[in-house]
Structure formats: structure tokens, C-alpha cells
């Protein structure tokens, strides 16, 4: 992809021509990792986060600690899937370190607080969306309000803010919000599992919608109620941040997979501008045959910019990293978006391959521990 007169072979625009439409400034990006939680993650088979059910809630704070320290405080090891695949935060941290991009951790309802400084948004963890009462409406409103206020301050610090998330079960709650807002996202959201459990996710969302007494599009003009019924606490905080940042004239890269389309849908339903906002992810989400980020985005806004980075993980000899290219995890903790801005900030002196080599070094250190 061409940007600012330079060529970036590992970056591409997945739905537009090969130039950035969003005038991202790569000079001083800032990364905000929003950690959160929903009891929806406890539904068997819905997420790859956590080596077992009891550990799922530790994944978000452990990701935050890993960014701070290169190890976790609340877990003995780094967060892994039941198959032993590492958290994508290993990619995020490597890309941040290589490009000297600063980060902040934002807590939007994590059950466990990270043992590191974090920004509190005073949010509670989300309920299982099968209740039809996922997040208190007052909490949704607070998330939007605090997010907007904090986003305005962040916009004074940086022209480009990358927002990532760590919330197990988040693609299912994203599906809920998308459908409640009238976007036909059935069987289109991504998954951290190789075998995307679409049937289960669709069923869970339908159960929540039935409990809340709503149909596809019931809340197309009321995103607060959509999130309250079948969403999660991360969504209003990230949507609020994006609105506060973009309305102050800075750019937002929503760093994540299909979860981030729910944020785009919320912002659109709030009748706020999408002008300074894009999504940044990995090619493993963009190329995923079992989900359709492009299709979902097209249902919200024509020509919404989505960018993807190729990290060449299929070339790695480390099985835990190679697995990402084979459909495990794929993206998360802002890995794709942060890699994109790291490559842009380093203006060509960093590529997907060179990031991979550094990730492998980090991975080997972890394995040795």
C-alpha cells in the first residue's frame, strides 16, 4: 500500500483503493487497550480465551500486565487458549516496543483489575446476553459519556489513536448489537477458535433478543438500548472514545476484527460522523473464510475503510505463532492495528517480517520461562 509517498507491501486496504483514505498521522500514535468482561464468555464453546473456564476472566488483565511488564502478574504464565496458543498481546507488545508507541490501559468492566496503572471508567462486568439484560442502561450511558470526555483529552495528545480490546466472548456480544441495530451479521462475525461456532453464537443472540423482546433492527435508532439488551461494557466505552477523539479532529483506528464493526454500527446509529474512523486488523481476520468483516461493514456504511497487515505468521517455525495463520485467535488486544501504525511510524524500516522476527524472540523468551 502507498502512504505518504512510501510503499508498504505488508499493508493493504481490504475494501478500497490502495491509498489510505483516512489521513492517519503516523508521527505520534497512541494505543489504548480497553479491557472488559461479559459473562457470555462462560457459555461453553464460545471463546478460545483462557486455558480453562476459571481463567477466562484473567485474560483481559493479564493482557494489560503483559503490555506493561512483558509478563503477567495475575497469572503464572501468559494467557493461552485451551490449546496453548499465546495471547495476541505478544504481537501488540512487540509492535509497541519496536515503534516506541505509548499505550494506556482502560478498564471498562474487567472482573479482575490489572496489577498496573489503568484508567477506570467505573463500569461493571457485563451479564450473559441470554438474559436480554446485558449491561445496565445507566452504565451504557456512562461509558459513552466518560469515553467521549476522555477521548477529547486524548485527541489533544495525539493525531491518531489506536483503540484495541480484550474481552472474551466479544464477537458474540458484537453480533448481538449488530443485529439489534438492524445489520444482518448472522454467521458473519469472527472467532478466536479455528472452527467458528456460528450456530451457537446465533442461538445465544436469538435467546437474548427473545428475552429482551426484540427483533432484527428493533433498536436501529437506539444504540443505548441495543447495547443494554445484548451488548457488553466495552462497546459504549470504545464508541464514546471514538466519538470524542474524531469530533476533536484526531483519527481513530479501531484495532480489532469483527467486534469493531459493532462500534462502527453504534457510532452510525448515534448519528455521529464516521469521517475520521477506520478499522485496522490482521490479514488472518481479513482473509478468514469463516467470517465476513467486509460484508458486515458494507451493511453499515459504504466504503468504510478497513486496513489489514500481513505478519507472515505462516512462515514461523514456532507452532504457537504459526497457529495464528491457521485460524487460531487471528487478532486481539489491538495486535493488527498496532502493527499497522508501527510499520507506518517507522516509515518502511519495519515490515511484517521484521515484526515477526521480534515476536519470535519474545515468544522464545516466554517459552524458556
Choosing from 122, 303, 315, 361, the residue that interacts with a second copy (CB under 8 A) is: 122
Of the pair 48, 101, the CB lying nearest a second copy is at 101
In whole angstroms, the minimum distance from the beta carbon of 152 to a second copy comes to 8
139/145 Cα distance (integer angstroms): 10
Instruction: Give which of 137, 173, 143 is closest to 40, Cα–Cα.
Output: 173
* Shortest spacing between CB 99 and a second copy, in angstroms: 10
* Pick 212 or 341: Cβ nearer a second copy: 341
Nearer to a second copy, 121 or 219 (CB): 121
Residue 124 binds a second copy, judged by CB under 8 A: no
Three-state DSSP state, 239: helix
4, 16, 82, 115: which one binds a second copy (CB under 8 A):
115
For the bound state, the minimum distance from the C-beta of residue 247 to a second copy, rounded and expressed in Å, comes to 15
- Residue for grid cell 490501559: 105
Q: Rounded to the nearest 5°, which phi and psi values hold at 254?
A: -80, 110
Select the residue interacting with a second copy from 2, 19, 120, 349 (CB under 8 A).
120
Residue 18 CA neighbour count, 13 Å, CB half? 9
Task: Give the span between the Cα atoms of 212 and 230, in whole angstroms.
Answer: 8
- Whole-angstrom Cα distance, residue 190 to residue 174? 10
Going by their DSSP bridges, the two strands 11-13 and 306-309 should be labelled as antiparallel
* Binding flag, residue 284, a second copy (CB under 8 A): no
Q: Following CA atoms 96, 98, 100, 105 in sequence, which dihedral angle do they give, to the nearest 10 degrees? A: 10
User: Which of 146, 284, 304, 363: binder of a second copy (CB under 8 A)?
Assistant: 146
Contact 352, 35 (CB under 8 A): no
Q: What Cα–Cα distance (Å) separates residue 87 from each residue in 62, 67, 294, 353?
A: 9, 11, 25, 19
Q: What grid cell was written down for 158?
A: 495525539
> Which positions from 63 to 92 touch a second copy by CB under 8 A, shown as an x/- string?
-----x------------------------
Cell numbers 481463567: residue: 55
State the DSSP code for 38: B
Least separation in angstroms between CB 29 and a second copy: 10
Nearest approach in angstroms of CB 14 to a second copy is 30
| Residue 156 binds to a second copy (criterion: CB under 8 A) | yes
In the complex, the smallest distance separating the C-beta of residue 158 from a second copy, rounded to whole angstroms, is 7
Please answer whether residues 178 and 211 qualify as being in contact, where contact means their C-beta atoms are separated by less than 8 angstroms: no
Based on CB atoms, which residue is closest to a second copy, 103 or 324? Answer: 103
Closer to a second copy at the Cβ: 3 or 146? Answer: 146
Binding to a second copy in span 5-34, by CB under 8 A = 28, 30
- Candidates 89, 41, 82; CA nearest to 62 is 89
Residue 356 in contact with a second copy, rule: CB under 8 A: no
- Considering the complex, state which of residue 250 and residue 258 has its C-beta at the smaller distance from a second copy: 250
Q: Mask of contacts with a second copy, 88-107, x by CB under 8 A?
A: ------------xxxxx-xx
Q: Which of 154, 209, 214, 224 binds a second copy (CB under 8 A)?
A: 154
Could you give the angle at the alpha carbon of 67 between the alpha carbons of 120 and 31, nearest 5°? 65
- Out of 25, 70, 97, 113, the only residue in the binding site for a second copy (CB under 8 A) is 113
Q: Which residues are near a second copy by CB under 8 A?
A: 28, 30, 68, 100-104, 106-107, 113, 115-122, 146-147, 149-150, 153-154, 156-158
Amino acid at each position: 500500500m502507498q502512504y505518504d509517498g512510501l510503499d508498504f507491501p505488508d499493508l493493504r486496504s481490504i475494501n478500497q483503493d490502495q491509498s489510505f483514505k483516512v489521513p492517519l498521522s503516523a508521527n505520534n500514535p497512541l494505543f489504548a487497550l480497553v479491557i472488559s468482561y461479559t459473562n457470555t464468555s462462560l457459555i461453553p464453546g464460545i471463546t478460545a480465551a483462557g486455558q480453562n473456564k476459571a481463567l477466562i476472566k484473567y485474560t483481559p488483565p493479564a493482557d494489560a500486565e503483559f503490555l506493561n511488564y512483558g509478563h503477567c502478574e495475575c497469572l503464572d504464565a501468559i494467557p493461552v487458549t485451551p490449546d496453548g496458543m499465546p495471547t495476541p498481546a505478544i504481537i501488540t507488545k512487540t509492535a509497541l516496543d519496536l515503534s516506541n508507541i505509548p499505550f494506556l490501559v482502560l478498564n471498562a468492566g474487567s472482573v479482575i483489575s490489572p496489577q498496573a496503572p489503568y484508567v477506570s471508567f467505573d463500569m461493571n462486568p457485563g451479564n450473559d446476553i441470554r438474559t436480554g439484560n446485558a449491561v445496565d442502561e445507566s452504565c451504557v450511558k456512562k461509558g459513552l459519556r466518560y469515553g467521549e470526555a476522555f477521548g477529547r483529552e486524548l485527541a489533544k495528545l495525539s493525531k491518531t489513536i489506536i483503540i484495541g480490546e480484550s474481552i472474551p466472548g466479544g464477537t458474540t456480544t458484537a453480533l448481538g448489537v449488530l443485529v439489534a441495530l438492524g445489520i444482518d451479521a448472522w454467521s458473519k462475525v469472527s472467532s478466536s477458535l479455528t472452527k467458528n461456532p456460528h450456530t451457537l453464537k446465533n442461538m445465544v443472540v436469538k435467546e437474548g433478543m427473545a428475552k429482551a423482546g426484540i427483533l432484527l433492527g428493533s433498536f436501529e435508532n437506539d444504540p443505548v438500548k441495543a447495547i443494554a439488551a445484548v451488548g457488553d461494557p466495552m462497546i459504549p466505552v470504545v464508541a464514546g472514545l471514538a466519538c470524542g477523539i474524531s469530533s476533536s479532529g484526531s483519527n481513530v483506528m479501531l484495532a480489532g476484527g469483527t467486534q469493531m464493526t459493532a462500534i462502527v454500527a453504534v457510532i452510525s446509529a448515534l448519528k455521529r460522523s464516521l469521517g475520521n474512523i477506520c478499522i485496522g486488523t490482521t490479514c488472518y481476520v481479513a482473509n478468514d473464510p469463516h467470517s465476513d468483516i467486509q460484508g458486515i461493514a458494507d451493511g453499515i456504511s459504504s466504503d468504510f475503510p478497513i486496513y489489514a497487515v500481513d505478519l507472515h505468521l505462516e512462515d514461523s517455525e514456532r507452532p504457537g505463532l504459526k497457529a495464528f495463520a491457521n485460524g487460531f485467535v487471528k487478532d486481539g488486544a489491538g495486535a493488527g492495528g498496532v502493527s499497522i501504525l508501527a510499520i507506518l511510524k517507522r516509515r518502511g524500516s519495519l515490515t511484517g517480517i521484521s515484526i515477526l522476527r521480534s515476536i519470535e524472540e519474545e515468544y522464545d523468551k516466554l517459552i524458556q520461562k
